A and B are shown apart, each in its own frame.
Chain A
Amino acid sequence: MEDQERSPELFLFLASTVHDMKNSISVLSGTLENLLVQEQPSPDQAQAWPQMAHMLYQTRRLNDNLMQLLALYKDLGKPTYPFDPRPVQIRELVQQVADQERVLLQSKQIALDTDFDPQLIGTFDEDLVIGVLAHAVNNAVRYTHDRIRLSVEQKDDMLEFRVEDNGAGFPPSMLEAGAAVGKGVNFLTNSSGLGLFFSSEVARMHRHRQRTGSIALENGGKLGGGCFVLRLP
């Protein structure tokens, strides 16, 4: 199968990248931890303490997320991931994605609009799709001015998830990378492909009656910026 053919180089790429990132995060969190466990702060430092504690919390989250991502990648490539599509209420899905991103969005004063039919039910692997959408929102934070929109809609037998922003849109290189995903793009030369590859693998795992899930990157949308689109059968 094609998964097997390209997995060795992907593993190599992933292993080294993640290892490198984890080193940086370890230093960050270690330093923060050391500062925090020192004796009681002097009065002029006291104000910074809660903020530093929050930084540590965020760093830990980042570390956890990375480990989780690595686990999913490893499993997706192998594939030993216990893929488990079940009926999910879209209302609950959106709620979970929004909650994961809440702290980040609030601290950057970005608003999240959601748009979906509260009665809508979709069939997919909930944990994987939450991972993809949270990743897409994280990514949109980099491009948006102050607004991100998460919408879910049933469209011609496919469930369409859109993460849109009101920024300047994706640069041409990203649009190309998005179009190339799934067509054998060389990830060793394209570092921005990591998240896209993860998302496209998740999409591809979802199959129903000869139809397969897919992802796309576009510019425009309701907010006029970049759009990440996930379509599931």
Chain B
Amino acid sequence: MKTSAAKIGDITDVNWAEKRYLIVDDFVGIRQLLRESLRNIGAKHIDQASSGGEAMTLLARTHYDVVLCDFNLGEGKNGQQVLEECRARNLMIPSSVWLTVSAEKSVESVMGAAEHQPDAYIIKPITEGVLLTRLNRVWHRKQIFREIDRAYIEKDYLRAAKLCDEQIAENKIHELDLLRMKANLLMKAGEPDQARAVYERVLEEREYNWARTGLGKIRMANGDLEAARQMFHNVMTENRYYIDAYDQLAAALLTMGEYEEACAVLESAAKLSPNSVQRQRTLGNTALRVGNIALAEKAFRKSIQVGEYSVFKTVDPYFGLARVCGQKGDIKEALALLAVVRRDFPHDVVELRSKIIEGLVYHESGDYRRARKAGDELEEMLKADPARPDTATCMEMATLLFAVGVKEAPVELLCHVIRNNHDNQLLLDDVQKVFEQARMSEEAEALIASSRREATEVMNKGVLLWKTGKLAEAVEWMREARQRLPDNMRILFNSAQMLISHMQKHGYDEALMMEANSVLMHVDRIAPGQQRFAQLIEQLQQLLPGRGITPAAEDGVF
């Protein structure tokens, strides 16, 4: 078969001439070359930006169909951070195309946050043919993924997975992407066995790191941590630069309580790809935990530095660094950091946490009088407001209060933590340690046992009511249970389950629907990616008027 090179191009009917383009590059010469290339494919509406900040201004004002953004942009945000902020602020419409341009294909430039990947990468120099080929390819891919992405955004993962199957049948070239997406969806939907079948099918064809890492994640989700650890290890041995395997291995080790080893793995990952705000923060926390102050300091500082222009900028590395400074006896910098936090992150919880960290810093540096004063203020705050903060904050607060000699308030806080996490053994071990530091090991055992019992009893009573057919009472009982134990995952899930069952039996009810949805969204906020979450969302979606149960969904087969 013979074809001429000139004719190969015209395969899609996309009218690239009428689209709106943005070129982001800090070199004027490159911008001119890119504009020339775009003009040659017919483009008429082309804007340009010379920095990340300038790009953000333009992106906030105009919806671009195509963005060509260089990875290295000099001072300020890099190309990846511009993309992340754009996605986080919803400045791009789903059909827009984002092309990351880079002088070389380095690990760093292609290792962005998984959920903020560009649609394609292009290495300089860019010729029109390469540009057009990649644009057409991305466009084609977007058509295929449009419905799937919509279902994904609605967190309707099982419907999205079914849509993947429909597309696989027709689009051979995108089969691999679709299978990868499908496995990911099945994991999110809490169907690890079906996800495993997909990964294994892919691996029969060829060895892909992501598929092997996926199998490891399934082992991890099933609690088979040792096997998961081995699988991530194997991927890393085979490909020393597959960062996701490092992060997953570290997660497995943290769940196993192997903090020293997790710290070492995160340190290697941070060396390979240092510009992740989250990874540096996790490294800092883990290093602080194992007492490697120097490493913790380095990681927190790096996290703050790379987070400066990122949407992932959070308060955590500032608090971490403040604690590091406290342990080094540098009160001045610790307090300066807390002042920055109070100025840059004005929020009630942040105010509370700042107060706790301040107390811990004073205590660890030996200023017991000021530490005590912070403790007293916190005790007053606890008395004034019955609502309790998140688990990590409760633990920190209890630690401080014990340290400054308060007894009742921290015990109450820790019991609250146990009740809300009664089946999380690793956390219960941490609670035990806090008690031990306060020389309360003996009381701890009894307190942990009774708090766990309390949570179990609340749960059992609800389940009993439900099983004996007293659905309305069960729903009401779980409603109260949620008030007492607002962050207990089992109670939240069971509560949602009962609301759904109630509607399945007695028909759709707007108020119950809203209630179930808000319970599930609360779960997703405090612990994203739970297996039961997606299954319950799917059941909830089926209840919506006009969304009948399809035969395939009933069988759970697709």
Contact = CB atoms under 8 A, between A and B. Distances in A.
Interface of B: 1-5, 8-9, 11, 29, 33, 103-107, 110-111, 123-125, 127-130, 133, 137, 172-173, 175-176, 206-207, 239, 241, 272
Contacts of B33: 57, 60
A118 B3 contact: yes
Contacts of B272: 80
A82 B4 CA distance: 33
B110 A82 contact: yes
Nearest to B104: A71
A72 B11 CA distance: 31
A176 interface: no
Contacts of B123: 68, 127
A36 B130 CA distance: 29
Contact of A82 (B2, B124, B176, B241): B241
Query: Which residue among A84, A99, A115, A123 has the maximum number of chain B CB atoms within 10 Å of its CB?
Result: A99
**10 smallest A-B Cβ distances: which pairs?**
A99-B129, A71-B104, A98-B5, A64-B125, A95-B8, A96-B130, A82-B110, A82-B107, A92-B133, A99-B127
Interface in A25-61: 57, 60-61
Nearest to A119: B172
Given A68-B124, A114-B4, A95 B106 contact: no
Nearest to B241: A80
Contacts of A75: 104-106
Contacts of A204: none
B106 A208 contact: no
Contacts of B175: 87
Interface string A176-208: 000000000000000000000000000000001
Given A100-B129, A121-B172, A114 B5 contact: yes
B124 A92 contact: no
Contact of B173 (A67, A84, A87, A102): A87
A117 interface: yes
Contacts of B173: 87, 89, 121
A72 B127 CA distance: 19
A80 B106 contact: yes
A94 B103 CA distance: 22
A121 B173 CA distance: 7
7 contacts: A68-B103, A72-B104, A75-B105, A80-B107, A87-B172, A94-B5, A121-B173
A86 B130 CA distance: 17
Interface string A86-108: 11010110111011101000000
Contacts of B129: 95-96, 98-100, 102
A165 B125 CA distance: 26
A146 interface: no
A115 B5 contact: no
A86 B176 contact: yes
A215 interface: no
Contacts, number: 102
Contacts of A114: 2-5, 8
A65 interface: yes
A189 to B, nearest CB: 28
A96 B105 CA distance: 17
Nearest to A70: B104
Contacts of A85: 206
Contacts of A112: 5
A178 to B, nearest CB: 26
Given A57-B33, A127-B123, 9 more contacts: A67-B103, A79-B241, A80-B272, A83-B239, A96-B129, A98-B8, A114-B4, A115-B3, A130-B130
A61 B107 contact: no
Contact of B125 (A61, A79, A208): A61
Nearest to B208: A85
Contact of B206 (A79, A95, A99, A208): A208
Contacts of A116: 1, 3
Contacts of B206: 85, 123, 208
A113 interface: yes
A85 B210 CA distance: 12
A50 to B, nearest CB: 14
Given A64-B124, A67-B104, A75-B106, A96 B133 contact: yes
Given A112-B5, A113-B2, A114-B4, A100 B130 contact: yes
Nearest to A117: B1
A118 B105 CA distance: 28
Interface string A125-164: 0010010000000000000000000000000000000000
A115 B33 CA distance: 31
A91 B106 CA distance: 26
B513 to A, nearest CB: 42
Contact of B128 (A67, A92, A99): A99
Contacts of B103: 64, 67-68, 71
B244 to A, nearest CB: 12
Contact of A81 (B5, B105, B124): B105
Nearest to B137: A92
A229 B289 CA distance: 56
A228 to B, nearest CB: 18
A123 to B, nearest CB: 6
Contacts of A92: 133, 137
A87 B171 CA distance: 12
Contacts of B105: 71-72, 75, 81-82, 127
Contacts of B11: 91
Contacts of A83: 239
Contacts of A121: 172-173
Query: Which residue among B11, B127, B272 has the maximum number of chain A CB atoms within 10 Å of its CB?
Result: B127
Given A64-B125, A96-B133, A99-B130, A82 B111 contact: yes
A195 to B, nearest CB: 18
A117 B111 CA distance: 34
A36 to B, nearest CB: 12
Nearest to B124: A64
A38 B107 CA distance: 42
Nearest to B136: A92
A91 B8 contact: yes
